[in-house]
C-alpha cells in the first residue's frame, strides 16, 4: 500500500470514531524510522482505545502489518506502529503535556497539516 493510501486509511479510521484535532506530520527529513506521524485526540480512555483499535483493525483488513500497539491498558495514550506511519491517539491533557507536534518539527505548514478528507484525497493523488 502506498504511503498516501495508508495515511488516508488512518485518518478515515480516526474520523469514523470521531477522533478530534487530527494532525498529520511529515517526518521524512527528520528520521529514517518512519515517514509520517498522525496525532489525534479522544475524550476518554474508552474513546482513545476505540480510536486506536479502529486504526489497528482497518489497517489489518487492508493487509497492512501492524508492528506494535502500545498503551491500550491505560487508554491515555495509545501508539499504533504501522511501519511508515506511527499513530498517536491521546487524551487532550496528555497531548497538551507532551506536545508531539512541536517535538517533531513545530507548526510549519510544510510538515504539519490538519487532516481532513480533502487533505487526504489530495495526498492520495500524490503517491
Domain-embedded: residue 71: yes
User: Does residue 121 lie in a domain region?
Assistant: no
The pTM of this model reads 0.83
Q: How far apart are the first and last CA of the chain?
A: 10
Candidates 67, 34, 69, 26; CA nearest to 48 is 69
pLDDT in tens, 34-91: 999 999 999 999 999 999 999 999 999 999 999 999 999 999 999 999 999 999 999 9
- For residue 41, being part of any structural domain is answered with yes
Q: Which three cell numbers stand for residue 11?
A: 485518518
- Decide: 83 and 65 in contact? Cβ < 8 Å: yes
127 falls within a domain: no
CATH classification of the domain holding 94: 3.30.460.10
Report if residue 125 sits inside a domain: no
Structural domain for 30, as ranges = 3-114
Q: How many structural domains compose the chain?
A: 1
User: What is the CB-side half-sphere exposure of residue 75 using CA atoms within 13 A?
Assistant: 11
Amino acid at each position: 500500500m502506498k504511503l498516501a493510501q495508508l495515511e488516508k486509511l488512518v485518518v478515515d479510521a480516526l474520523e469514523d470514531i470521531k477522533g478530534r484535532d487530527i494532525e498529520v506530520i511529515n517526518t521524512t527529513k527528520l528520521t529514517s524510522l518512519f515517514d509520517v506521524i498522525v496525532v489525534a485526540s479522544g475524550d476518554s480512555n474508552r474513546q482513545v482505545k476505540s480510536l486506536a483499535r479502529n486504526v489497528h483493525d482497518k489497517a489489518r483488513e487492508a493487509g497492512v502489518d501492524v508492528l506494535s500497539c502500545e498503551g491500550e491498558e491505560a487508554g491515555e495514550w495509545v501508539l499504533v506502529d504501522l511501519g511508515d506511519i506511527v499513530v498517536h491517539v491521546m487524551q487532550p491533557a496528555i497531548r497538551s503535556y507532551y506536545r508531539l507536534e512541536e517535538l517533531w518539527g513545530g507548526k510549519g505548514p510544510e510538515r504539519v497539516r490538519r487532516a481532513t478528507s480533502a487533505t487526504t484525497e489530495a495526498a492520495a493523488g500524490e503517491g
